[in-house]
Amino acid sequence: MRAYSYGEPQGRRIGKLGEFTLYEKTLVKGHVPNVEGEVERSDTMFNFVYGPSAGGLTETILFNMLTTGESIKSMSSDPTFKMRSLEVIGKRIDDAVPFIERVNGPFSASHSIAFLSAVEDAQGIDVDRNTMMSRIIEMELERIRNHLHVIARMCEAAAFGVPYNSLFYLRESVNRIISQYAGHRYFFGANGVGAVNSDFGGVSKSLIVIEKEVRELYNSLLESKIFLDRLQGNGIVTDLDCIGPAARGLGLRVDARADSGSLPYGKLGFSPTVEMGLGGDAMSRFLVRCEEISQSVELIKKAETKLGSHAKAKAHGSASGEGIGRVESPSGDVAYMVKLLNGRLRKIDLLSASSANLPVFQKSTRNNVFTDFHFNWESFGIWVSEIAVRFV
Amino acid sequence: MKTNVWFLKGLKRLGRTERYPNRMSITEEKPKVNSGIAVKFSRFKRSFYLYQIDSGTCGACNLELQALSTPHYDLNRFGIFFTNSPRHADALVIMGVYSEKMEKVLESAYGAMPSPKLIIAMGGCAITGCDIGKHPKLSDKAVVSIPGCPPDPYAILNGIMKAKEVSSK
């Protein structure tokens, strides 16, 4: 491990990674549990079950809401209904990558790049500039697509047809751009150890029209009082352990692009988008995501100018070792810790943004009403598939 | 003209739906029709309602199915709709691999659907399980299988149209 060491907490707490707690610079043995106070149950309260399969949910998850009829007093969830077991232990790295890509399809680039960064860290492989910049472009394209999806889903919850359809139109346009440059709409097969199998030269031109339309829709949404009323004061985050846009909406300057060395965002002059003084509600997460779309387009433009020749790095490092890779997925940090033995995976642990933010989401629903639920849920951008997964 | 009337903004964006079938919609991933099961159905001549269940996906199939409602594809123009309850559904779209806790959920949803009803298995995971796991048990009853990882929206549209077609014969 080149960027992390075992020891005492150092820097911000990111979350649970296997049997450790991952901090910005260190791995600390054991878990720091989430402290959650119990709500005292009265006779007028009952349990309202939502899920595991319901029309309003994109994925399978069960929510248990303790309620008096309108406001949610507390919430628990069971994301394990769609638990998958991915057989990667003992596999060669190249054979494991397709499984890692399928941990979460919408964040496939984030997962595969975090995993490959961990492998390269373990093997001591130095990756060339072209590959690094191509990976940044992949990550930012994925972020644009996901943020468009999240904002569109928030508009859908408000039955706000024109922006919802317009944003989904743009999401599909980004998907087609990804398909054109990466060869697959979800980056499957685009990444390998020390290499990216795609050429992203010229991709920023395709994004100019999209960014212009996003900006126009964003400005118009900001003038829609009916829509903003649904977001303001909804799902207020009080937990400082959140990560990703939820944390940046709360005013915390936390972003793996700034504090992880896995990708050279520093060379592109990156600085996190943080919304100060908004109190960490769904509105603040909406603003962070809208601003980050423009920021991602700028990052892609800069990364594109730094693309060099499409040279493949020497992918022959030591066959055994231990490494950590951490990147900023569209919903927050994604980290992998791997142990390699004779070129095969001996152990693998995952820290996903969704597993870190799900308890934060649950707490944020307290004292909200049922109709607030979808705005809040969508604003976190949680994917159950990256929670309900284990490696065997 | 700058306007803050959403209706006018919608009018500005008319004409974004693509013709179907067109060159892009002809994909290599052809839906497979289980003709042995298909002959049982004969009543889906007009509207066709779908209920989707995620048994164990990576999330990509969910997004691709959702994309059918976007202006590019506009599923509703063919009389096909998503419904929020299996009680109103004509077809159950199954995505993802088998998971133990979802087995009962799938069976309950299928049991709640009114007859005639059919199953569409969408994506490699639901058809064979690929290498990710086993396929859900109900996939054996699928009238139409839509291969792909994930199948692109036109491949899904082809499959759903096929399911509607064979069931109306």
- What ipTM was reported for this prediction? 0.91
Contact B70 A165 (CB under 8 A): yes
Residue B115 has pLDDT above 60, yes or no: yes
Residue A90: the pLDDT is: 93
Q: What is the pTM of this model?
A: 0.92
Q: How far apart are alpha carbons A171 and A145 in whole angstroms?
A: 5
H/E/C letters for each residue in chain B? CCCCCHHHHHHHCCCCCCCCCCCCCCCCCCCEECHHHHCCCCCCCCCEEEEEEEEECCCHHHHHHHHHHCCCCCHHHHCEEECCCHHHCCEEEEEECCCHHHHHHHHHHHHHCCCCCEEEEECHHHHCCCCCCCCCHHHHHCCEEECCCCCCHHHHHHHHHHHHHHHHC
Task: Give the SS3 label for residue A369.
Answer: strand
Comparing CB atoms, the residue among B55, B60, B66 nearest residue A105 is B60
Cα distance between residue A329 and residue A341, in whole Å = 28
- Nearest Cβ partner of B105 from A53, A58, A165? A53
Check CB contact of A162 with chain B, cutoff 8 Å: yes
Taking contacts as CB-CB distances below 8 angstroms, the residues of chain B near A107 are: 59
3-state SS, residue A318: coil
Q: What pLDDT, on the 0 to 100 scale, is given for residue A133?
A: 95
Compute the CA torsion angle A332, A238, A158, B5 (nearest 10 deg). Answer: -90
Is the per-residue pLDDT at B39 higher than 60? no
- Token readout for A153 is 């889903």
Classify residue A192 by its DSSP letter.
E
Tokens 């994909």 — which residue? B27
pLDDT in the model for residue B130? 87
Count of beta carbons in the 10 Å neighbourhood of residue A238: 12
Roughly what angle, to the nearest 10 degrees, separates helices A373-380 and A282-305? 20
Local confidence band at B29 (pLDDT 50, 70, 90 cut-offs): low
Q: In whole angstroms, give the CA distance from residue A336 to residue A389.
A: 13
Residue A21's pLDDT is 87
CA nearest A172 in B: which residue?
Answer: B67
Tens of pLDDT along chain A (392 residues) come to 788 888 888 888 888 888 888 888 888 888 765 555 566 677 788 899 998 988 888 999 999 999 988 889 999 999 999 999 999 999 999 999 999 999 999 999 999 999 999 999 999 998 999 999 999 999 999 999 999 999 999 999 998 989 999 999 999 999 999 999 999 999 999 999 998 988 998 999 999 999 999 999 999 999 999 899 999 999 999 888 899 999 999 999 999 999 988 899 999 999 999 988 778 999 999 999 999 999 999 999 999 999 876 655 555 667 889 999 999 999 999 999 999 999 899 999 999 999 999 999 999 998 899 989 999 999 999 999 999 999 99
Rounded to 5°, angle at Cα A15 from A114 and A330: 50
